[in-house]
Structure 1
Amino acid sequence: MHRIWKLVLLVVALLVAAPALPASADPPQLRREGRWLVDPQGRVVIVHGLNLVYKHAPYAPPATAAGFQARDARWLARHGFNGARVGTLWAGLTPDAPGRADPAYLAKVQRVLDLLARRHIWVQLDMHQDQWHETYGGEGVPDWAVHRPAPYDALPPVTAPFPTGYWTPEVSTVFDNFWAGADGLLGAWADAWQVAARAWRGQPYLMGYDLLNEPWMGTEWALCLATGCPDSYRAELQPAMEQGLAAVREVDPDNIVWWEPQQFAGGQPLDTFFEPVAGEDQLGFSWHSYCPDVFLESQGIPGGNVENCWDFARGRQEHALEQSRTMRAVPLMSEWGATDNVRAIEIDAAAADEALMGWTHWAYKRWNDPTTADTAQGLFRDDADPSSVKRAKLRVLVRTYAQATAGTPLLMSFDAGDGSFRYRYRPDPAVTAPTRIFVSPLHYPDGYRVRVDGGRVVSRSPHQVLVAAASEKVVTVRVAREPIGDGARSIR
C-alpha cells in the first residue's frame, strides 16, 4: 500500500509540474500573408527544408536507421532545416476503396510528423505521384485507381525510365481520363484529401497540403512543352485544383492549400496560368526548379553548362513570384536539386536567397527511389549511416539565414565559401517576438562575429542570433567568421 501511495503522489507531482497548453490553444501553424509564410507570432518564416518522400509500400519511412527516427529529426534541426515536405500518398491514405482511410498508414505518417514537430520543423504534406502507379514504373495512386484504357489494355503495359514513362500514349491517356473525371477518380482523389485534412488539420507545425506532385496534362504534353498549355489550365488543371481545394475546405477552413503547375514548368522557362479563387486567401504556389543543363548531365548527355543555370534559376524565381501575385498565393520552391553537382546546388540556393524564397530540397535520403533521373539524390551515401553524408553538398545547403523575421525581409545573401552573411529587414512594431537568425554549424570553425545596425542582439548562441529592432528603421544584420585566436566562442 505504501508503494501504491508513493506512485500516486509521483503521478500527481508530474501532472502539476508538466507545462500544459490551454485547451483552446491553437497549434503552431503557418499562414499566408501576402507573399509570405507567417508564424503565430506574426513573423515572416523562410523555410529551408528537405523532401521526405518514401515511394515504396507502405509509402511511409520505417522506424529504422535507414528510414526515419528521432535522430533524423535532431539532425535536421541541428543543421538548420526548419521545413520538410513529407509524402502522404493517395495509395497510402485510401488503399482499399475511395474515401476509406487506412488507420495504419495514418499512424505511420503521424509518427514522422510528431518527430518533426518536436523539433519545430514545419511540414508540407505532399500527395506525391510519379507516372501514376507501379504498373507504369511509378507510384502514387491506389491499385483500385488503375483503369487501363483501351486499346492499350489488350497488351502488357509499356514501362519506360522516369521521366520518359510519362510520354507513353497509355500513361498520357490515363491522365486525360483522370482530368475528365472518368471512373470517378477525380472525386476519389478529392476524397483522399478530405481523409488527410481531417486527420491533420490540427497538426502542430503544419504548413498545408500540396494537392498533387508534378501534374501531367496527358496527350497534349508536347503543347505543354512548347507553350505551357494555357488551355489545359483553364479546362483541366484549375478546375481539378479547385475541386481538391473545396474538398479540403469542407473539413479545414484555415490551412494553406498548395497547387503545382504542369510538370514541364519545373524544367523549362514556361509560363503558368493559375487564376485566383474568389474568397480564398490561403493558397500556395508549390513550384519546382530543375535546370535543363543539370538534367542533361544526369542523363549522361554531353553539352550542358552548369553556369547557364544562373539565368534559369533567376528566371524561375521571378516567374514564381509573378504567378503567386496573380493567384494571390504564397510561393515555395518545394523541389530542386536532385543532384550531386555542388555548383548547381550553390547556384539554386543563392538565387533563392536573392528572391527571399523558401525551399525544400530534393531529397533527404534516397530510399531506393524508383523514379529518379539519376542515383545522386540523397544527402548520404548510405541512408543508415549519418557519417556517410556528402559533405561538399551539405556545406552549400546548410546556410546562415533568417528563419523568422519580425517585419518584412528586404535582402539576404550568404557566401558558402567564407560564411559571410548579410540580411536587411523592415521591422514591424506590432510584432514583439525577436528576429531569429540561424547560424550555420559548418562555416565558423573558430566562432563568428555578428553586427547589427538599427537594432541589437537580444541573445546569441553558437547556432542562433536573436535580434530586436531599435526603431521602425531598417535593420541590417551581418555575420562573419571570427579571426583565429581572438577568444570568440567556438562552434561545435
Structure 2
Amino acid sequence: MRSKFRLKTAVTALLCAATMAAGGATAVAAPAEPGDGRLSTSTSGAPRIVDDLGRTVLLRGINVNGLGEYYQEFPDLDPTMPLTEADFAGIATQGFNVVRLIMSWSLIEPQRGVFDHSYLDKIAQATEWAKAHDIGVILDMHQDAWGPAVATPDGVSCPAPLATSVGWDGAPAWATATMGGLATCRLADSREVSVVVQQSFENFYNDVNGIQGEFIKSWEFVVRRFAADPTVVGYDLLNEPSPGLSVGINDYLRLGAMYDRLIPAIRAAEASVPGGFSHTAYFEPSVASSLLPTPGPATGSAGSAGSSGEPRFTSDPNLVYAPHIYNESLPLAVGSIESGFAAAAKAAEGYGGTPFFSGEWGFFGDDASNPEKVARYAAQEDAYLVGGTWWQWKQACGDPHNVQHRENRPDWCQAGEFGEFESFPADSPIRAILSRAYPRAVPGELTAIRADVPSGALEVEGVADRAGVSADLWVPARCAVPEVSGTNIGAGTVRSVAGGSRVSVPVSGAGEYTITVAC
C-alpha cells in the first residue's frame, strides 16, 4: 500500500555513545537473570507483550523485504535489495529490537504440494543475523494485491478509468484466479481493485480447489522449522487481507473462519517439534477495515472451526491485534493519526483485551520527508505504550510500489539504488524520531513513557511485581553521557553499543518505580 516517492542518498551512521555509571552510583554488573527470550502475551492487568521474566516488552523496529518475491517489470531494476548481515547491524544502530521479515508464499510453495527447504534456509540465516544483533524477528506472510501473477499481459489495453497492472507479491501463480486479460486491469489509484485480485481472494476465503488449505500447509511447513526458536518472536499470519468480492462478509466472517482454522494448525505444528512452543500470532484486519463500521475479523463465525466446538482463534492465549496504522498517509486509512490509534485500541479491547501493534506505518509521497506527522505518530506510540514497525528498511528501484503500472519506469533512480529509511541522511529528523530512547523491556507493567527526541533523554514509570528484575533501556548516541536516577531502583549500568547505549536498571522491590535517564 505504498506509493512512489523520492528519497535522498544515505550518508554516515550515528556516533557511538560513551559509557558511565548512573546517578553518581558505582557501576556494577547487573545480576544474571534466567530466561531464553521467549515472548508471549499477557492480559493480566494491562494487555501487553511479555518475556519469560514477566517484563513488559516494547517491540520497535522496521520491515525488511529482501527475502520477498516481487514481480519484476524491468530486467535491469531488481524489485528487492540483497539482504546481508550488514543490514541487521545497521538496523541495530537505530535501537530497533525487531524486524518484520517479509516472506512469500510463492517461494515457500512454488509448486502445489512442493515446499522449498532452501528458502527456509535463507529465512533461518536472516534470523541468525538478527539474533547476533539482539533483534527479534516477526515472520510475516506477506502479500500485496494477491501475488506476482496478476500483471496485465503484454498487448492488453485497459479502457479508462482502468489502467494496466504490474504484479505484486504473495501467492504463487498456481493459486491465482485465471480470468483473462481485461480482468487484470485495475483502478489507476488502487492496486487491489481488479477482478483477478478480488476473485483470487474470493477463491481463497471459500477454499476453492483447496487453496486455503495449501496456504495453511505452507504455514505449518514454516512453523515446524522455527517452532523452537525464541529469536522468532511471532508470526504475522497474513498481510493486509483484501475483502474479495464480498465486502463486509469476507472481512468479518470468512477472514475470521480462516484464522479459526489456521491458528490451531500452527499450534499443532509447534507441538509436533521437540522443544517447540507457542509463538505470538499477529492477526490483521481487512485492508478495508477503516471503512467499515467496526473492524473485523469475527471469530467463531458460521462455518468456522469455532462453530463446531473446536478452538476459536480469539480463545488462543497468545495473540496480538496487528492493524497497519496508516492514517493521514494512505487513502484507505480514514481519519487522523490520533483516531487511528484510538480505533486500534478499541478493537484490541474487543478481542478480549489483546495488546495491539502496528505492523506497518510510514508516510509517503509529499509527506515522505515530513517530520511533523512522524513526531505525532511517535507521540501516540509512547502514549499508548505500544510498538510497531516502519515501512521499510530499503525499497529497490524496481519494487512494484515504485513502478505501479506496466512500462512505468521510475525516473528517480538507477539499478542498484534504493529508497526508504536507509536512504535518509544521517541528520534526518525522521531518523532522530524513530531512534528515540525507549524501554525495550521493563519489570512488571509499564505505565508511562516520556522520550525527548532532541536530547535522547527518557523517563519511564512502571509497577514491578517483584524485586531483582532489571529494566533494559535504549538511549541513542546523541545522549552522550546517560545519567540514571529514579525511585525504587538500584544503580544503573550503561553499556556502549553501536549507535547509542543500553542502560540496565534493577528495580529494588515490588511496587511503583520510576527511571529517569538524563543527558
TM-score using structure 1 length: 0.78
Asked if 1:235 corresponds to 2:261, the answer is no
Asked if 1:405 corresponds to 2:419, the answer is no
| 1:327–1:388 Cα change, 3 Å | closer
Partner of 2:512: 474
Partner of 2:104: 89
Partner of 1:439: 475
Question: Distance in 2 between the 1:398 and 1:267 partners?
Answer: 32
Q: How does 1:75-154 map to 2 (within 5 A)?
A: 75-98=90-113, 100-136=114-150, 137-148=167-178, 152-153=179-180
Partner of 1:16: none
| 1:163–1:217 Cα change, 3 Å | farther
Name the Cα RMSD after superposition: 3.1
> 1:338 touches 1:363 (CA, 8 Å); kept in 2?
no
| 1:315–1:27 Cα change, 3 Å | same
357, 378, 386: which one aligns with 1:349: 378
> 1:28 touches 1:206 (CA, 8 Å); kept in 2?
no
| 1:370–1:114 Cα change, 3 Å | same
Structure 1 counterpart of 2:270, one-letter code: D
Q: How does 1:409-420 map to 2 (within 5 A)?
A: 409-420=446-457
Partner of 2:489: 455
| 1:33–1:262 Cα change, 3 Å | same
| 1:387–1:286 Cα change, 3 Å | closer
370, 373, 392: which one aligns with 1:363: 392
Partner of 2:155: none
Q: What is the Cα deviation at residue 157 of structure 1?
A: 4.4
TM-score using structure 2 length: 0.74
Q: Greater RCO between the two (CA within 8 Å, min separation 6)?
A: 2
Q: What is the Cα deviation at residue 266 of structure 1?
A: 6.0
Structure 2 counterpart of 1:183, one-letter code: N
| 1:118–1:274 Cα change, 3 Å | farther
> 2:464 touches 2:510 (CA, 8 Å); kept in 1?
yes
> 1:457 touches 1:465 (CA, 8 Å); kept in 2?
no
Unaligned runs of 5+ in 2: 1-33, 72-79, 151-166, 272-277, 300-311, 405-409
Q: What is the Cα deviation at residue 244 of structure 1?
A: 1.3
- Secondary structure at the aligned position of 1:50 is classed as strand
Q: What is the Cα deviation at residue 233 of structure 1?
A: 4.2
> 2:282 touches 2:319 (CA, 8 Å); kept in 1?
yes
Asked if 1:294 corresponds to 2:329, the answer is yes
- Secondary structure at the aligned position of 1:245 is classed as helix
Structure 2 counterpart of 1:103, one-letter code: H
Question: Distance in 1 between the 2:344 and 2:423 partners?
Answer: 36
Question: Distance in 1 between the 2:294 and 2:512 partners?
Answer: 36
Structure 2 counterpart of 1:395, one-letter code: A
Q: Give a deviation string over 1:337-362, Cα, whole Å, max 9, x none.
A: 14322222211111011000011111
Q: How does 1:13-52 map to 2 (within 5 A)?
A: 28-34=37-43, 35-52=47-64
Q: What is the Cα deviation at residue 331 of structure 1?
A: 1.8
Partner of 1:197: 223
Unaligned runs of 5+ in 1: 1-24, 60-64, 222-228, 300-307, 482-492
> 2:465 touches 2:511 (CA, 8 Å); kept in 1?
no
> 1:67 touches 1:384 (CA, 8 Å); kept in 2?
no
Q: What is the Cα deviation at residue 367 of structure 1?
A: 3.0
Structure 2 counterpart of 1:140, one-letter code: G
Q: What is the Cα deviation at residue 381 of structure 1?
A: 7.2
- Secondary structure at the aligned position of 2:400 is classed as coil
- Secondary structure at the aligned position of 2:401 is classed as coil
Q: What is the Cα deviation at residue 434 of structure 1?
A: 0.6
Structure 2 counterpart of 1:106, one-letter code: L
Q: Give a deviation string over 1:398-425, Cα, whole Å, max 9, x none.
A: 0100001111000112132343422111
Question: Distance in 1 between the 2:371 and 2:321 partners?
Answer: 26
> 1:266 touches 1:288 (CA, 8 Å); kept in 2?
no
| 1:383–1:235 Cα change, 3 Å | closer
Question: Distance in 1 between the 2:104 and 2:81 partners?
Answer: 20
Partner of 2:77: none
Give aligned pairs, total.
421
> 1:286 touches 1:334 (CA, 8 Å); kept in 2?
yes
Partner of 1:250: 268
Q: What is the Cα deviation at residue 56 of structure 1?
A: 5.5
Q: Give a deviation string over 1:140-169, Cα, whole Å, max 9, x none.
A: 111211231xxx42x354244786121123
Structure 1 counterpart of 2:384, one-letter code: A
Identity of aligned pairs, percent? 22
Question: Distance in 1 between the 2:430 and 2:314 partners?
Answer: 43
> 1:54 touches 1:367 (CA, 8 Å); kept in 2?
no
Asked if 1:315 corresponds to 2:336, the answer is no
